[in-house]
């Protein structure tokens, strides 16, 4: 835009101002692998966000989880994931995805040891 100033005595000066808006860059969150353990037929709530982060400080949410081969995984309202074992001794795995609410996502694997 252009503006003009006046000295009140007939003298004026004009200038032009250019404003270029910039969109802040959103860095994606960082999801890190997790480990947990439970018993055969048991369940465990896993706070997967405890070791995840966002470079911009955006709050993180768990938005999806894959189905583990030997159990089930459910996202809880507090963003933890409850793993329930149906059968198996050894290990089971699933993957979860987090979002920073600004378009950034990341995924990591959870390994559950079945005792």
pLDDT, one tens digit per residue, over 28-56 is: 999 999 999 999 999 999 999 999 999 99
- pLDDT of amino acid 22: 82
Mean local confidence (pLDDT), 73-102:
96
**Residue 51, token pair as written in the block:** 């070791």
Q: Which two tokens stand for residue 90?
A: 């050894």
DSSP conformation class of 70: T
Confidence of residue 24 (pLDDT cuts 50, 70, 90): confident
SS3 49: helix
Instruction: Name the pLDDT band for 20 (thresholds 50, 70, 90).
Output: confident
- Walk me through the domains of the chain, giving residue ranges and CATH numbers: 29-114 (2.60.40.10)
Cα-Cα-Cα-Cα torsion 64, 69, 70, 73, nearest 10 degrees, comes to 0
For residues 58 and 79, is the Cβ–Cβ distance under 8 A? no
How far is Cα 94 from Cα 46, in angstroms, rounded to an integer? 12
Dist CA 49 CA 4 (whole Å): 55
Q: Give the pLDDT band of residue 89 (cuts 50, 70, 90).
A: confident
Q: Is the pLDDT of residue 10 over 90?
A: no
Q: Is the pLDDT of residue 87 over 90?
A: no
């Amino acid at each position: 835009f252009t503006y003009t100033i006046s000295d009140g005595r007939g003298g004026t000066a004009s200038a032009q101002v250019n404003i270029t808006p910039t969109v802040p860059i959103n860095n994606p969150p960082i999801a890190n692998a997790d480990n947990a353990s439970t018993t055969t037929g048991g369940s465990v709530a896993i706070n997967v966000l405890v070791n995840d982060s966002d470079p911009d400080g955006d709050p993180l949410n768990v938005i999806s989880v894959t189905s583990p081969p030997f159990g089930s995984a459910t996202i809880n309202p507090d963003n933890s994931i409850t793993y329930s074992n149906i059968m198996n001794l050894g290990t089971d795995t699933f993957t979860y995805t987090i979002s920073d609410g600004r378009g950034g996502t990341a995924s990591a694997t959870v390994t559950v040891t079945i005792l």
